[in-house]
Structure 1
Amino acid sequence: MATIPLTVRGAERLQAELHRLKHVERPAVINAIAEARAQGDLSENAEYDAARERQGFIEFRIGELDGTLSNAQLIDPASIDADGRVVFGATVEIEDLESGDKVTYQIVGDIEADIRANLISVSSPVARALIGKYEGDVVTVRAPSGEREYEILSIKYA
């Protein structure tokens, strides 16, 4: 399996989720299965079926997180000699030159991307356009809605 780039903060979030699944969710679903079994006939026991389904989801997610974390390449943007360029893990403030809207994104690995938290995947069109550029540069992003131009206002490595 190939290495998976992760920010240190992203890896910490995944480890916290893994810990919660193993030490809170898994024991809770095991108890729910035991309680549902105690009710008798399992063939028409909706609680048992729901608990087993939940257990399957939890075990799948635990395996997925274990695999991701074991193949993770942790990247701390503060320790990268970026020479002022946009790199993986950088937090970049950009301005849409047409609308004047400003937005700040952190460029992260695919697994930790969350647009609601302004974490964009390194493989997204915006991140690909920003990587390697400097503060003050204007980049063109080819998106499904057409081309957009953005100016890089600031770059932080935290």
Structure 2
Amino acid sequence: MADKPVYLTVEGKKKLEEELEYLTTVRRREVAEAIRSAKEEGDLSENSAYDEAKLQQGFLEGKVQQIEAQLRNAVIIEANGNGNKNVVGIGSTVTVVDEEFDEEETYTIVGSAEADPLEGKISNESPIGMALLGAKLKQEVNVETPGGTVIYKVLKIE
């Protein structure tokens, strides 16, 4: 089974590479030291420090594998999406208006690995992201939410 693509901006890829570097150098050393220190305490059968350190090692290695897989399957996207300011694509920054409440929102469509709603970065796999992908300027899109359908009108695509 082929792994699915992980859409990343150049900035997002760099952040993942930096995190991987930190985890494989600094954190691995810290966890190895914690395991060594706990082993020196003696009986491992009732050594909670050793158990905790081994648990941390497992989490660390899982995170390393996850980031390595994301980088291996990375598809770099341009900061302005497909370069077409008339159609929303991954990497586009889109300003929309909620037609019911007349509230403007601006979102950047990114891959799920980079999504951060507090920064206005939404995943291409989120309900809003999926509804906006392929939308044209001035087009209305319906977004299904737990609270009902929200209608957005695309005002600007960058």
TM norm structure 2:
0.88
Unaligned runs of 5+ in 2: none
Alignment partner, residue 62 of structure 1: 64
Deviates more, 1:130-139 or 1:140-149: 130-139
How far apart, CA to CA, are the structure 2 residues paired with 1:20 and 1:135? 42
How far apart, CA to CA, are the structure 2 residues paired with 1:101 and 1:42? 59
| Aligned amino acid, residue 7 of structure 2 | P
| Aligned amino acid, residue 14 of structure 1 | L
- 1:87 is aligned, of 86, 89, 92, to 89
Query: 1:67-114: per-residue Cα shift (whole Å, max 9, x none)?
Result: 110111111134733242111111112221112222221111122223
Alignment partner, residue 22 of structure 1: 24
Deviates more, 1:28-37 or 1:134-143: 134-143
- 1:75 is aligned, of 74, 77, 86, to 77
How far apart, CA to CA, are the structure 2 residues paired with 1:13 and 1:5? 13
The answer as to 2:150 corresponding to 1:129 is no
**1:136-155 matched pairs, under 5 angstroms:** 136-155=138-157
How far apart, CA to CA, are the structure 1 residues paired with 2:78 and 2:26? 29
Deviates more, 1:111-120 or 1:33-42: 111-120
Alignment partner, residue 110 of structure 2: 108
Which secondary structure state, in structure 1, belongs to the residue aligned with residue 90 of structure 2?
Answer: coil
| Aligned amino acid, residue 34 of structure 2 | A
How far apart, CA to CA, are the structure 2 residues paired with 1:16 and 1:150? 36
| Aligned amino acid, residue 40 of structure 1 | G
RMSD: 1.7
Alignment partner, residue 49 of structure 1: 51
TM norm structure 1:
0.88
Identity across matched positions, percent: 38
Alignment partner, residue 37 of structure 2: 35
